[in-house]
Structure 1
């Protein structure tokens, strides 16, 4: 599979899954048709008109001209790709196609491919086999199974057009449909430059049930007992849950009314404290509570921040919080980014002319530097530390990280993730430096001390590095030696520390044996 196809799937799989929930059309069929008809998103129509399915006509009066069966035919021009996917679903709901597919199961992609061909969707005699080959070649049928599993778990029916749309990456800030007024705004937590996003919106591996996937209806923001703040003026607290036995733990929900009768509902989950009560009116920047780690579905301290659009007739629609925060950032002139692995996830939702970081130029090295200078680098350290995570210590820590990932065959994205994980979890696996040991991990504890934990296959030893040992490692990392020599020399330090503990442990064992033997002799 080509990289362009993989990128298309990663970007638009959720769009196809949304359409399956709303119309019952297999996600695999929708996604495969988008792949074929947009040339993996690279076709002129896709680029100039957000038209991924080659649909002819006009959309809200908008169109582009392109040659097809005839010269200068009109093709629909959409504001965003989400509209293209939604419009395509409405095309397939026509009787000419439904007469062949309405009785098929939702994961029968072969039957659907044959049915829409019978309905006249394409004139190519090989269209069915082409469609099936794309689906099976990229294993797109897995998305059908995911949606079916989710819908069954939630007790929902397919083909209900009011099923929520997530709007995941489907709209720009200027067209979110939230109709935010011009007034004061605030980010949900206070930061000088950027919020560190530990998990973005959309499909991800379930952090609780490893190996399974889930749709993450929100973003996770790294926090450490931060005040969580109302994002707009004139919000009404519509939900307060003090329970810690639910998945989201202590939760606050605030609703903002719009002039057109719609509402925007904002959720704050996993709080440690709640400072408001149901019915309260809150304004931008007002404290709602304190972030925490409550709930049965949390893996550590963070704020889960979710956004839902509520239509005038009370239909709910999940929204990517990045779109909402982008609009807040623009209208409130906040200039605060939301960074995930070196990418500002708000950038793609900014309107034309708004300054946005060129995330394609980020490297693991400059992402590391950005994190070192951030407020989040010191979170969880008693006293906060000196410029990031205790200055020189963190510099040593992260330089050591770069030495470990350079020797591994990782992609750029994996390296960016490794840098993020090192800051969030504050530990580095350096087992590759000491192949004679079972494992070796260097971490920084809550007091800001460097701790080495090694396992020789028999016992685990924990050692707080002395200043001399930290200086030795720093000097090695800053030397002109090649990377292989640096790893070997650091490995020698780790082995020396391990050996001293092994020797001490052996001595203690011998001494204990001697004392036991002596006590036995005395009893005799």
Structure 2
């Protein structure tokens, strides 16, 4: 994809919105943005969010408008500075609409891009020659007319007229100041928090985890604040930096991405897509670094940062690890005191109903899958409660099982070397066991799932009896598979002996 196409794709929504509001072809606005801002990479675009080279008038300055000083036709000229790229697009449209020099352009059809480019050149928008030809070449080489056609179809289908009265600025784009790194309805499922943890490579050692891991799989990741600058891209990670009023900076790093949607130098806004998490991995690593004005720096708990932007942006989502909200300890004393600690059962149900369950498979009508999901949930809690584990240990076991889609059933079958129940991508349950002589890996049949579900949901059974019955059913699956393999092996040996006799 060319740089022109990347720019158009990133800012097409802004341009189409301006077309609805002012009747300026989206293709022309995008072509001007590409040409005037060097695909968003000019100093004006990077430092001031100014994508159209609009200079600051005395009126702009008198009304408190910000500006930057740059050399253009003459040294030390003042150019408008904007809070966001969206503000730059809106001011560009108003600049054309309110300037009598461009009045003849607004008599043209909103999709007459050739007429508009010629009108801009004739009105003296740019000092360079062949301005209309340059814009038309950008439009036609990149197929930007498709955005004009899209808006024209939408307006006709909706029976709407062009103009600011019927097409107000979208509130979400003008008001969004903060967002969490992943979009979730209720909470982020944090599989590993900030701080000391067992080394993934060597469980006997401890290491400092300098971020939090958020359960994801092929999810879009997004910026957390307005006006960030992308300062690093590569190695499956993106880093965005925010400058504070006291001269300090905050850097947010997103790791384990499958692809990136931004490049170094881009200015990004809250909620803007940075890339997508890997579909092969299972989490996003989100790290936050504080860089002080004197250059000293340290890694900080991302939960503290998320609590801060949640407060500023009135974000209601939580960041839950083993049923506990990591943001609670960074909230005000009054708000933190209202946090309710979930029981293991409540935590399990919350996870199963979330976007990150991995086993919920909402909308699935396969009864065998539904049985597998139900059995998985019941077995997960049953296994977590064995050996007199504390509620904290039970919640941790539930988190691990949900994250890996596997339940360790060895506590139910202590005679086994290993025993796990896994839920595959197809939603079916597979028993994987090793009894010391045979290793079994088999998808449970609907009959086996039915018997297992009946035992798990029989309210007349005591906990001890339920565990014994479930253990017996699982053991019988392993024994049946062992017998089947022994029979097949015996038949194979018998066939071999028969062949030898024939020779």
Asked if these proteins are the same fold (TM beyond 0.5), I'd say yes
Q: Is the 8 A contact 1:350 1:356 kept in 2?
A: no
Shift of 1:341: 0.6
Match of 1:509 in 2: 489
Aligned pair 1:483/2:469, yes or no?
no
> In structure 2, the residue corresponding to 1:240 is in which secondary structure?
strand
- 1:7-18 to 2 correspondence within 5 Å? none
> In structure 2, the residue corresponding to 1:184 is in which secondary structure?
coil
Residue number among 196, 209, 212 corresponding to 2:205 in the alignment: 212
Relative to 1, partners in 2 of residues 1:505 and 1:383: Cα closer, same or farther, differing over 3 Å?
A: same
- 1:448-484 Cα offsets, whole Å, 9 max, x none, are 1011112221121112112222222121112111112
- 1:223-234 to 2 correspondence within 5 Å? 223-234=216-227
Match of 2:229 in 1: 236
- 1:263-282 to 2 correspondence within 5 Å? 263-282=249-268
Relative to 1, partners in 2 of residues 1:504 and 1:392: Cα closer, same or farther, differing over 3 Å?
A: closer
- 1:36-51 to 2 correspondence within 5 Å? none
Gaps of 5+ in 2: 1-174
- 1:217-251 Cα offsets, whole Å, 9 max, x none, are 1111110111010111111000011x3xxxxxx11
Q: Is the 8 A contact 2:384 2:398 kept in 1?
A: no
- 1:118-133 to 2 correspondence within 5 Å? none
> In structure 1, the residue corresponding to 2:467 is in which secondary structure?
helix
Match of 2:68 in 1: none
Alignment partners' CA distance in 2, 1:447 and 1:349: 40
Aligned pair 1:522/2:502, yes or no?
yes
Alignment partners' CA distance in 2, 1:377 and 1:426: 9
Relative to 1, partners in 2 of residues 1:253 and 1:390: Cα closer, same or farther, differing over 3 Å?
A: farther
Q: Is the 8 A contact 1:385 1:448 kept in 2?
A: no
Match of 1:398 in 2: 377
Q: Is the 8 A contact 1:203 1:215 kept in 2?
A: yes
Match of 1:60 in 2: none
Q: Is the 8 A contact 1:237 1:252 kept in 2?
A: yes
Match of 1:328 in 2: 309
Match of 1:448 in 2: 427
Shift of 1:208: 1.9
Q: Is the 8 A contact 2:223 2:272 kept in 1?
A: yes
- 1:11-60 Cα offsets, whole Å, 9 max, x none, are xxxxxxxxxxxxxxxxxxxxxxxxxxxxxxxxxxxxxxxxxxxxxxxxxx
Relative to 1, partners in 2 of residues 1:352 and 1:411: Cα closer, same or farther, differing over 3 Å?
A: closer
Match of 1:371 in 2: 351
Match of 2:288 in 1: 307
Q: Is the 8 A contact 1:450 1:465 kept in 2?
A: yes
Aligned pair 1:318/2:299, yes or no?
yes
- 1:236-255 to 2 correspondence within 5 Å? 236-241=229-234, 243=235, 250-255=236-241
Q: Is the 8 A contact 1:372 1:394 kept in 2?
A: no
> In structure 2, the residue corresponding to 1:407 is in which secondary structure?
helix
- 1:65-84 to 2 correspondence within 5 Å? none
Q: Is the 8 A contact 1:367 1:416 kept in 2?
A: yes
Residue number among 392, 401, 415 corresponding to 1:413 in the alignment: 392
Relative to 1, partners in 2 of residues 1:287 and 1:457: Cα closer, same or farther, differing over 3 Å?
A: same
- 1:95-106 to 2 correspondence within 5 Å? none
Aligned pair 1:257/2:236, yes or no?
no
Relative to 1, partners in 2 of residues 1:353 and 1:483: Cα closer, same or farther, differing over 3 Å?
A: closer
RMSD (CA atoms) = 2.4
Alignment partners' CA distance in 2, 1:377 and 1:395: 13
- 1:339-392 Cα offsets, whole Å, 9 max, x none, are 001100001111354467524x4221111121121111137x878858xx9655
Match of 2:146 in 1: none
Q: Is the 8 A contact 2:386 2:411 kept in 1?
A: no
Relative to 1, partners in 2 of residues 1:204 and 1:435: Cα closer, same or farther, differing over 3 Å?
A: closer
- 1:408-464 Cα offsets, whole Å, 9 max, x none, are 132222111001011111111223333444332111111110111122211211121
> In structure 2, the residue corresponding to 1:225 is in which secondary structure?
coil
Alignment partners' CA distance in 2, 1:212 and 1:399: 33
Gaps of 5+ in 1: 1-181, 244-249, 295-299
Aligned length: 327
Residue number among 218, 221, 233 corresponding to 2:214 in the alignment: 221
Alignment partners' CA distance in 2, 1:290 and 1:267: 13
Alignment partners' CA distance in 2, 1:330 and 1:395: 37
Relative to 1, partners in 2 of residues 1:205 and 1:357: Cα closer, same or farther, differing over 3 Å?
A: farther
Match of 1:196 in 2: 189
Match of 1:341 in 2: 322
Relative to 1, partners in 2 of residues 1:522 and 1:456: Cα closer, same or farther, differing over 3 Å?
A: same
Relative to 1, partners in 2 of residues 1:266 and 1:437: Cα closer, same or farther, differing over 3 Å?
A: closer
Q: Is the 8 A contact 2:371 2:450 kept in 1?
A: no
Q: Is the 8 A contact 2:373 2:427 kept in 1?
A: no
Relative to 1, partners in 2 of residues 1:435 and 1:261: Cα closer, same or farther, differing over 3 Å?
A: closer
> In structure 1, the residue corresponding to 2:357 is in which secondary structure?
helix
Alignment partners' CA distance in 2, 1:390 and 1:420: 21
Aligned pair 1:289/2:269, yes or no?
no
In the superposition, the TM-score normalised over structure 2's length comes to 0.61
Match of 2:411 in 1: 432
